[in-house]
Amino acid sequence: MQIGNVGKSNFTKAVKALLNRIYDDTKVADSLFEQAMQWFNGAAERDQQQAEREQQVFLFQSRQAQANKGDQALIERNLQQAQSEQEFFNKQLQQDKLNRYESLRRLCLDILTLSESDSFEETNIQSAKMLGTIQLMSPTAGKNIAPSNQKSKHLYKALLSIRLLDRLLLDNQISHPFILQRFQAAAGTAAADEYQPFRDDVQVPLLMAALLQDIGSCHPDAQRILKGSAGDLDEFRVLENDERTELLKISYRESLNFVVQAIGIGSYQGNSKEQRDRYLQNEREKQAFLIFMLKNAIKPEQGVGNLLKIPQIYTSVVLSTKANYSYESLPKVGLVLEKGVEKGVYSPVAVSGLLKITGVFPQGFGITYIPKDSDRQDLDRYEYAIVTGLYPQDPKMPICRMVTRNLTYNVSAQGCVVSVENNLYYPHARKKLERISEERLLEILSKLVSNLEERKSMALLPKCWHPGEYFTFSKNQNLWNKALINQN
């Protein structure tokens, strides 16, 4: 499989940078989740310092009321000093809060810049590229699956939330007045650096909500449940029911607390009182919308909380952190959602909308399929492809980029729509190749894998393949450039 150099394309680097800004583990500790961890861990000391400064001011005010004239000047100086220290401390807290808000806002704008374009079609290509890149960078075997997926799931979920909003708006399935008012107000065009009602007041708060939905898990009480008092438990283990219930309560409560106390709202820059009042009113409305989405996501029924809830369920399957993770099971995510609809726990409209976007097979999933010859007859082999397109016409027929041709890796491969009949994920397609000898199947396998001896235990008729190694070569990371799409 040696094709070019191992490395990252500019787009892959950009996606990686976004992931690091959301969830990382560095000395700088400047990612969103690291900032949250610091903020939660520093709460007791912060409260103590605030109380001490308030007490100091109160103490000198009391002395001032009771002191004789000779002591007044000294007490006044001490009072002014205490008030100055209190004011400086409070201003620093407010500035830190504003810095977190601005950092999160810029992060959301950068996500939109990378995932959107001038047209609906191009936006879906960009989003498919981001979703696929996240999946293809994620390990699908070994011990790093859970930590890697934990890091990646927030951006993945946020992207799905934005695209689901598009779909439900197109289907006239959004009735929330705030969203509709801003959507209609955005009918006119605006420069990228100007205020855009729909982008700034709806899309950015939705992205914020998606990224902050689980931020409360950074709270020390939540961490104790996940890792134990001594920090020696596996945070990805299956929790007991009471532990899980308590964790969800803490995470929900502290996520809302973080939104209000640690993030807050933007600060007006300017001299106009009228503009400032309008700006602050708009900021408060955006914050109220964000909080409403987080609260509504607990039991959304048919509400806008589904913009968070349904992508959250989808992501929990595709980027699972569970010990029983199985790459082969990823296409079952649709069944999970549809079963939830049957039980009445998931919104049929939201589930239908999301599956219309994604289809059965997640972006970046490795497809094995039977190719056809020029006469549209099945050949006696299988080839590799990768899912690269959103909005398949048939949810079971993924839009793919062909990765191999004549059992040879081909960088400039064409695209194809893989039919159910020829997709080895389905038993009927695998039956077609059962008549082929084991020697021939081993020969096919030897041409497609780089370490045959290690992989002889693999199924000779694989339901899918793991394209992670292929994607590590920088030349193979532009799977989304325009290509002729064939029907297979």
Res. 452: pLDDT tops 80 = no
Strand order in the sheet with 464-465: 464-465, 366-369, 383-389, 399-402, 415-417, 485-487
Which secondary structure element, helix H or strand E, spans residue 401, and what is its range? strand 399-402
Question: Which has more confidence, 152 or 459?
Answer: 152
On the question of pLDDT at 460 being above 90, the answer is no
Quick check: 18 and 155 in contact, CB under 8 A? yes
pLDDT of the residue at 214: 96
What distance in Å separates the CA atoms of residue 204 and residue 107, rounded to the nearest whole number?
Answer: 9
How high is the pLDDT of residue 248? Answer: 97
3-class SS of residue 399? strand
Question: Are 342 and 335 spatial neighbours (Cβ–Cβ below 8 Å)?
Answer: no
Helix 145-170 and helix 177-185: axis angle, to 10°? 70
pLDDT band at residue 56 using 50, 70 and 90 as cut-offs = very high
Q: What is the mean pLDDT of residues 212-233?
A: 96
- Compute the mean pLDDT over every residue in the chain, rounded to the nearest whole number: 93
Tokens, residue 135: 């999946």
Instruction: Say how far apart CA 235 and CA 446 lie, in whole Å.
Output: 39
- Phi, psi dihedral angles at 94 (to 5 degrees): -65, -40
Predicted local confidence at residue 412, as pLDDT = 63
Q: Output the pLDDT for position 487.
A: 83
| pLDDT value of residue 295 | 97
The single-letter DSSP state of residue 475 is G
Checking 291-298 for CB contacts under 8 A at 24+ apart, the result is 291/256, 291/259, 291/260, 293/205, 293/206, 293/209, 294/209, 294/212, 294/213, 294/252, 294/255, 294/256, 294/259, 295/256, 297/209, 297/213, 298/252
Query: What is the pLDDT, as a whole number, of residue 73?
Result: 83
Q: What is the DSSP letter of 176?
A: -
Q: What percentage of the chain has pLDDT greater than the value 70?
A: 95
Q: What is the pLDDT of residues 105-127, one digit of tens each?
A: 999 999 999 999 999 999 999 99
Burial 111-150 (b: 16+ CB within 10 A, else e): bbebbbeeeeeebbbbbbbbbbbbbbbbbbeeeebbebbb
pLDDT of residue 135: 98
Q: Which two tokens stand for residue 4?
A: 């070019």
Contact 372, 414 (CB under 8 A): no
Are the C-beta atoms of 314 and 337 separated by less than 8 Å? yes
**pLDDT of 454 strictly over 60:** no
Q: Which of 1-10, 62-71, 181-190, 211-220 is least confident?
A: 1-10
pLDDT tens, 411-424?
A: 666 899 999 999 99
Residue 74 and residue 81 in contact, taking contact as beta carbons nearer than 8 Å: no
User: Which two structure tokens, joined as six digits, stand for 424?
Assistant: 């080895």
Residue with token string 């708060």: 205
Element (H or E) spanning 283, and its range?
Answer: helix 273-296
pLDDT for the residue numbered 413: 64
Q: Are 295 and 213 in contact (CB under 8 A)?
A: no
45 in Cβ contact with 220 (< 8 Å): no
The more confident residue out of 69 and 348 is: 348
Q: How many CB atoms lie within 10 A of CB 456?
A: 12
Residue type, 103: S
Answer whether residue 1 shows pLDDT above 70.
no
First to last CA, the chain: 24
What is the mean predicted confidence (pLDDT) over 313-336?
96
The predicted pLDDT at position 192 comes to: 62
**Cα dihedral sign for 78, 82, 87, 92?**
positive
CA distance 442 to 461: 10
Spatial distance between the Cα atoms of 163 and 136, rounded to a whole number of angstroms: 20
With 70 as the cut, is the pLDDT of residue 457 above it?
no
Q: What number of other Cβ atoms are within 10 A of residue 454's Cβ? A: 9
What pLDDT is recorded for position 483?
75
**What is the percentage of the chain residues whose pLDDT exceeds 90?**
81
Q: Which two tokens stand for residue 354?
A: 């999301």
Amino acid identity of 120? F
Confidence label for 130 from pLDDT (cuts 50, 70 and 90)? very high
Task: Determine which of 70-79, 156-165, 338-347 has the lowest per-residue pLDDT on average.
Answer: 70-79
Closest to 460 (Cα-Cα) out of 446, 441, 443, 447 = 441
d(CA 236, CA 150): 9
Buried b (16+ CB within 10 A) or exposed e, 294-304: bebbeebeebb
Tokens of 237: 């283990």
Tokens 């000391």 belong to 45
* Secondary structure class of 188 (helix, strand, coil): coil
**Mean pLDDT, to the nearest integer, of 284-299?**
97
**CA distance linking residue 452 with residue 292, whole number of Å:** 54
CA 368 to chain centre: 27
- C-alpha triplet 110, 111, 116: angle, nearest 5°: 105
Give the model's confidence band at 453: pLDDT under 50 very low, under 70 low, under 90 confident, else very high. low
Q: What is the pLDDT of residue 76?
A: 87
